[in-house]
Amino acid sequence: MANKKMGLKVVSSAVISFSLLLLSASTAKAQANGVFDVTKYGGKEDITEALNNAWKDACGSMNPSKVLIPSGTYSLRQVTLAGPCKAAIEVQVDGILKAPANPDQFSGGNWVDFRHVDQLTLSGSGTFDGQGNVAWSKSTCNKDKNCEGLPMNIRFDFITNGLVRDITTRDSKNFHVNVLGCKNLTFQHFTVTAPGESINTDGIHIGQSTGIYIIDSNIGTGDDCISVGDGTEELHVTGVTCGPGHGISVGSLGRYPNEKPVSGIFVKNCTISNTANGVRIKSWPDLYGGDASNMHFEDIVMNNVQNPVVVDQEYCPWNQCSLKAPSKVKISDVSFKNIRGTSATPVVVKLACSSGIPCEKVELADINLVYSGSEGPAKSQCSNVKPVISGIMSASGC
């Protein structure tokens, strides 16, 4: 009897060893030189499960690793790629990823979500295609301020020391990219593309994050190319082309209680073309307080922009708010320098500050914006602010 039990133990041990050997061989096949190729995990057309498994193995690696999505077209359902990982990790997307076209197939507000990762790189020549053209017609946000948001293409939540390079996001159902709680995250040679009529499709929205860099990127969409929410500090935007869209905007601010201050916004060497706005700071009236300071816009070229330079503290889209009381958001230490090009409307500078808390320390320097339409000469409008003006000022009024 003892010999029989001993024999069973030997057989069981052999089976376990063989299973581990197969698992090891499978992992080795999927991994080559630290590269985890999703197609080696069975990813052919729908790569959702394969991507989740490749991420799990790569994230658990003690050495720097890469998840590879090769060239090709793949369906990808909703995924969350979460850390913390044991070492630096890169996701290289060379293929075209297609989201489900029907927004009802999503649970929550995102398609691809990267969360709680230190040393993340998202790279490659690939595209995240949100297939949003069906969803845009279903948006009710132009009528209901408490509307349920459609899914965003990519979220970065609590990423530290990250780089997004060469990737394209196309036709998101909602914001293309949302950045929340991140530190030291760079977008370089990043492309956002969607038609001008797409609703609420901000290119990159940043909130409660520090040290965000957007460099040498091309953003064309149906809403703000870049939008800055509360709690954003040290945002550097350089060499960005924007259009179509609503321009580069700080805000809207003051819509919700307990918003955190915005500070250290630097937008430089950008080109904005055929947009509804150029560079803009906006806050809601009659709602909640806040603070936005140390914001500087410099060396900006405007091409046929409807409202090139704007501070709007009466921001009230679709009449969803009250104008009975002024904005409670304090705006200070703002400069607009070397802003040049053409305006599609005669008001090339409009600084509409709060009557309750007027703007302070606002500087206009070398504003050379030309309007050549039939509505008279270019002009500026200022209220509740006394800007310091120097250099060229092509439009009188402030």
Round to whole Å and give the CA distance between 311 and 364. 12
- Vertex 298: Cα angle to 294 and 299 (nearest 5): 170
Task: Determine the 3-state secondary structure of 138 from DSSP.
Answer: helix
Amino acid at site 304 = N
Which token pair is 320? 């969803």
Q: Would residue 116 show up in a list of annotated catalytic residues for this protein? A: no
Catalytic residue among 116, 189, 205, 246: 246
What dihedral do alpha carbons 17, 22, 23, 25 form, nearest 10°?
Answer: 120
Placement of tokens 């560079």 in the chain? 279
Q: How far apart are the first and last CA of the chain?
A: 101
Half-sphere exposure of 297 (CA within 13 A, CB side): 28
Placement of tokens 């006394």 in the chain? 386
φ and ψ of 19, to 5 deg: -65, -45
Please state, as a whole number, how many other Cβ atoms lie within 10 Å of the Cβ of residue 82. 16
Tell me which residues are annotated as active site: 246
